[in-house]
Amino acid sequence: MKGAIVTGSARGLGKEIAVMLAKEGYATAINYRKSGKEAKKTLQVLIEINRNCLSVKGDLTKQQNVKKLFESAKKKFGRIDVLVNNVGDFLYKPLLQTTKKELMGVIENNVATALLCSKEAIKAMRKQGYGRIINIGSTGCDELLAPEMTTPYYMAKTSIWLLTKALARAAGEGITVNMVSPGILKTSIVKKEGVEYTSFDEVTNAILMLIKSSHNGKNMAVARWKPEG
């Protein structure tokens, strides 16, 4: 049985990624922190596609919750073939009004979760000799942007870009680590007039392409659509 984990996947982009993976034959574990009602509905959709899917609640900035998620998935699926690090808080606020707590929250929720989950995934993938890790970034995060209202968020996503490179080197034979950086989605908190939204299909198709890649580990790509501006 092929197994996949998608973090932050009760709704929005995470949900669409989970549904895509289920349709591709992956028993998929979704994760949520607060969106219990949405997670229940998403799981129902997934189970109609693949009855082996499951839902695991937990704040993934905490190591014990990461272990719980991966242990639950490995017990159910037997293996972890794909990890999509989608979870990540967004903050829209002037930088000089941003508190230390808010800054650290955005960094931890985006970067720490990706690192902790990737470390657990790599443990399982090394034993299998195969695995695919996809990190979700944001358009422009590789260009060291510092937007006035979203600087902490871009700090976090640029860190994810660097983390992707480092993980791609360290992961091991047969494991690829890549990054997909979408533009503004219809479900994005902040929208801009006159900008064509990135569709869920564009993002999920890019992820699927990277998952199906035959490259034998140690590669990193940044895929992007419809830049914000």
Kindly name the residue from 32, 92, 130, 153 that is annotated as catalytic: 153
DSSP for 15-69, written as a single string: HHHHHHHHHTT-EEEEEESS-HHHHHHHHHHHHHH-TT-EEEE--TTSHHHHHHH
Locate 118 and state its tokens: 């990737």
Report the alpha-carbon distance of residue 170 to residue 110 in Å, rounded: 20
DSSP 198: B
Q: Centre a 10 Å sphere on the Cβ of residue 215 and count the other Cβ atoms it contains.
A: 11
Helical H segments across the chain, by residue range = 12-23, 36-49, 63-77, 100-107, 113-128, 151-170, 200-211
Neighbours of 86 (CB within 10 A): 27
- In whole angstroms, what is the distance from residue 114 CA to residue 107 CA? 11
- Enumerate the β-bridge partners of residue 132: 82, 176
**Among this protein's residues, is 32 annotated catalytic?**
no
Q: Contact 30/55 with Cβ under 8 angstroms?
A: yes
Catalytic residue list: 153
